[in-house]
């Protein structure tokens, strides 16, 4: 991405970003996900106080400057750094006085004009979000991925997810967001085998095709259960309600209680979703 850097570039709103100079799939997919989730999950505000000064289309004098050098050779490179204590940084500040601004004041005045624009000043003075503070520190504690995972799942609106609504409609019960987060955590940690994890994820996503879906995709195709019980082959029927499955689930139930030495409710929440 030279002369841009991802840790600066992503904080810019789309209209203010320089042209992307990479076709790397890892970078492009990360940016796509970031743009999709950044504001939805309250990771940042737009514009963000972490937005860079250089390579920012709002700051024309610095558009062609080398971002890695900071502003005029100083450590100032982001909007929030322009207003320490809520006041625009003084020209006599040690950070500024030791730079080229000491001999050539024009860049300083250009920067001040840029910073005093209403939307720039508001962005610079906006408090950092928890995620922005984490990124700004530059040092991360152990368990960072788990911390981010818990943070994202606590603010996720589970009720907007179609597979959640479908499970709750099938089973006639609504769960709290914490319960769905626990279900996801259980499925993620139930096995180190990625194949088993994949099967569980596909189950909760309702990825598997049923006779009812086949009938909808190909008119004329019967929607009855493939096991020959005569009932409609809905998702919950194929996984739980079919009479042919009763013996199988009964054996699993008996074995699970014997191994764990505890009573386990005979319900699909426990056996299909690890609740």
Query: In whole numbers, what is the pLDDT of the chain averaged over residues?
Result: 85
- 190 and 107 in a single domain? The answer is no
Instruction: Write the DSSP assignment of 190-219 as a string of letters.
Output: S-S-HHHHHHHHHHHTT-S--HHHHHHHST
- Residue 99, pLDDT above cutoff 60: no
- 196 and 99 in a single domain? The answer is no
- Residue 102, pLDDT above cutoff 60: no
How far lies 240's CA from each of 184, 226, 245, in Å?
A: 20, 14, 7
Question: Rounded to the nearest 5 degrees, what angle is found at the Cα of 259, between the Cα atoms of 254 and 261?
Answer: 90
Looking at the domain assignment, is residue 244 inside a domain? yes
- pLDDT value at position 25? 92
Contact 45, 126 (CB under 8 A): yes
- 169 and 116 in a single domain? The answer is no
224 three-class SS: strand
Cis peptide before 177 (omega within 30 of 0): no
Count of structural domains, the chain? 2
Say how far apart CA 48 and CA 30 lie, in whole Å: 18
Residue 134, CA atoms < 13 Å, CB-side half-sphere:
13
Looking at the domain assignment, is residue 76 inside a domain? yes
Q: For 124-154, how does the pLDDT look when each residue is reduced to its tens digit (9 = 90+)?
A: 999 998 889 888 887 777 888 888 877 777 7
Mean pLDDT on 261-275: 87
Q: Which residue, 198, 269, 200, is CA-closest to 236?
A: 269
Looking at the domain assignment, is residue 145 inside a domain? no
Q: pLDDT class for 236, splitting at 50, 70, 90?
A: very high
| Structural domain span for residue 90 | 6-137
Mean pLDDT on 146-169: 79
- 50 and 162 in a single domain? The answer is no
Q: pLDDT class for 67, splitting at 50, 70, 90?
A: very low
Looking at the domain assignment, is residue 66 inside a domain? yes
Low-confidence winner among 27-31, 39-43, 158-162, 240-244 (lowest mean pLDDT): 158-162
- 110 and 11 in a single domain? The answer is yes
- Residue 234, pLDDT above cutoff 90: yes
Say how far apart CA 150 and CA 135 lie, in whole Å: 17
Low-confidence winner among 28-37, 76-85, 139-148 (lowest mean pLDDT): 139-148
- pLDDT value at position 98? 60
- pLDDT value at position 156? 66
- 127 and 163 in a single domain? The answer is no
Looking at the domain assignment, is residue 121 inside a domain? yes
pTM as predicted: 0.57
DSSP character at residue 237: I
- 120 and 165 in a single domain? The answer is no
- 176 and 212 in a single domain? The answer is yes
Higher pLDDT, 2 or 63: 2
């Amino acid at each position: 991405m030279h002369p841009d850097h991802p840790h600066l570039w992503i904080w810019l709103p789309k209209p203010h970003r320089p042209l992307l100079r990479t076709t790397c799939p890892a970078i492009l997919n990360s940016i796509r996900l970031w743009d999709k989730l950044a504001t939805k999950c309250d990771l940042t505000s737009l514009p963000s106080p972490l937005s860079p000064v250089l390579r920012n289309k709002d700051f024309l004098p610095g558009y062609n400057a080398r971002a890695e050098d900071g502003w005029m050779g100083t450590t100032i490179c982001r909007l929030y750094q322009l207003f320490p204590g809520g006041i625009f940084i003084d020209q006599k500040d040690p950070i500024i006085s030791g730079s080229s601004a000491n001999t050539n004041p024009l860049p300083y005045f250009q920067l001040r004009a840029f910073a005093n624009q209403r939307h720039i000043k508001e962005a610079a003075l906006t408090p950092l979000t928890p995620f922005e503070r984490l990124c700004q520190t530059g040092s991360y504690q152990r368990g960072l991925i788990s911390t981010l995972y818990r943070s994202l799942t606590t603010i996720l609106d589970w009720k907007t997810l179609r597979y959640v609504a479908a499970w709750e409609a099938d089973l006639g019960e609504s769960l709290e967001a914490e319960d769905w987060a626990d279900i996801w955590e259980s499925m993620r940690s139930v096995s180190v085998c990625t194949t088993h994890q994949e099967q569980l994820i596909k189950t909760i996503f309702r990825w598997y095709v049923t006779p009812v879906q086949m009938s909808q995709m190909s008119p004329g195709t019967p929607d009855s259960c493939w096991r020959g019980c005569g009932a409609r082959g809905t998702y919950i029927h194929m996984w739980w309600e079919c009479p042919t499955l009763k013996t199988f689930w009964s054996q699993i139930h008996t074995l699970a209680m014997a191994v764990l030495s505890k009573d386990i409710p005979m319900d699909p929440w426990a056996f299909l979703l690890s609740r």
